[in-house]
Amino acid sequence: MSVSDVDRRDELLAAADRHHAGVAFLQMGDPSLSRELTRLADAGATTISLAGISLGPLAPGQSWLRRIASHWWRERAGHRPVIEVATRLASTIEEIEVALFDLKPISGAEPGLTSTAWEDVTRHRRQVLICRGPRCTARGSDETARALILGLMEAGLGDHDVLVTHTGCQFPCNQAPVVSVQPDDVWYGGVDPGAARRIVSDHLLADTPVESRRLPR
């Protein structure tokens, strides 16, 4: 469910194998849930059971698993298997087995992927790009993201103030974890959780870039 789960693919695959299952991702990873559902349906599956798991910070809610599965089911041409979704989201690998004991079939009437609340570009003045490439991830950019997002939340700032986006490689890999702030064109390197919170308090709240972590341009 979360961006961080992609970084723990091998661990998730090992757990799935113990349940004779597979792994799919809602974001930032392949295969996507929709692609995996198509593969299973094309292979003749009659019932597919989904258990959502989030091992990282700030994943979308459990409802998104049902939304996306239901959207796929409505759009599917031809054979459509029964899809059951666990009613609770696992936060550890051990909880997956418990989650699979309480499954609820989708009806196809679940909310869709669109909403009037998601129609327009947000009114944000700044966009913070957090690198989640392989080197930045290996050096802890998941914790960088957690600290920055929680710092924004504690400051009462939402998407209409600062839009936070996870990205692939931003290239100055030796400076990992890398964070850039646009349209200020300010790039930061070595952004650990403490530095992330300083970026929130100094740069995003007080308009003063954190020079100790700023990369030359």
Query: Which pLDDT does position 158 carry in this prediction?
Result: 94
**What tens digit of pLDDT does each residue of 144-153 get?**
999 999 999 9
Residue type, 195: A
Query: Which pLDDT does position 187 carry in this prediction?
Result: 98
Distances (CA, A) of 214 to 6, 123, 180, 205, 209: 28, 26, 9, 17, 8
Domain edge (last residue) among 116, 141, 171: 116
112 and 9 together in one domain: yes
149 and 98 together in one domain: no
74 and 135 together in one domain: no
In-domain check, residue 42: yes
163 and 203 together in one domain: yes
For residues 198 and 157, is the Cβ–Cβ distance under 8 A? no
**Residues in Cβ contact with 79 at an 8 Å cutoff, skipping those fewer than 6 apart:** 41, 44
Domain edge (last residue) among 83, 116, 149: 116
Query: Which pLDDT does position 145 carry in this prediction?
Result: 93
Query: Which pLDDT does position 175 carry in this prediction?
Result: 98
154 and 105 together in one domain: no
pLDDT at 164 over 90: yes
pLDDT above 70 as % of the chain = 100
Query: Which pLDDT does position 4 carry in this prediction?
Result: 86
Query: Which pLDDT does position 192 carry in this prediction?
Result: 98
106 and 132 together in one domain: no
In this structure, what CATH number is given to the domain that contains residue 206?
Answer: 3.40.30.10
Query: Which pLDDT does position 129 carry in this prediction?
Result: 98
19 and 95 together in one domain: yes
Q: How far apart are CA 1 and CA 3, in angstroms?
A: 7
Query: Which pLDDT does position 7 carry in this prediction?
Result: 86
97 and 135 together in one domain: no
78 and 132 together in one domain: no
Domain edge (last residue) among 116, 134, 154: 116
Residue 76: closest CA among 25, 38, 31, 24? 38
pLDDT at 58 over 80: no
Higher pLDDT, 202 or 101: 202
In-domain check, residue 35: yes
**What tens digit of pLDDT does each residue of 62-91 get?**
899 999 999 999 999 999 999 999 999 999
Q: How far apart are CA 68 and CA 3, in angstroms?
A: 16
pTM for this structure? 0.87
183 and 138 together in one domain: yes
Q: How far apart are CA 162 and CA 108, in angstroms?
A: 35
131 and 111 together in one domain: no
pLDDT band of residue 211 (cuts 50, 70, 90) is very high
In-domain check, residue 121: no
Query: Residue with structure tokens 């009613």?
Result: 87
Residue 101: exposure state from Cβ atoms within 10 A (0-12, 13-18, ≥19): exposed
In-domain check, residue 185: yes
For residues 64 and 1, is the Cβ–Cβ distance under 8 A? yes
**CB 136: neighbour CB atoms within 10 A?**
27
37 and 142 together in one domain: no
Domain that holds residue 169: 126-213
For residues 48 and 82, is the Cβ–Cβ distance under 8 A? yes
215, two tokens: 């990369």
In-domain check, residue 88: yes
pLDDT band of residue 56 (cuts 50, 70, 90) is confident
Domain count of the fold of the chain:
2
Largest alpha-carbon pair distance within the chain? 58
Q: How far apart are the first and last CA of the chain?
A: 35
Residue type, 188: Y
In-domain check, residue 29: yes
**Residues in Cβ contact with 154 at an 8 Å cutoff, skipping those fewer than 6 apart:** none
In-domain check, residue 206: yes
pLDDT at 122 over 90: yes
Query: Which pLDDT does position 59 carry in this prediction?
Result: 84
Query: Which pLDDT does position 64 carry in this prediction?
Result: 94
Least-confidence region, from 49-53, 61-65, 184-188? 61-65
In-domain check, residue 31: yes
**What tens digit of pLDDT does each residue of 17-34 get?**
998 999 999 999 999 999
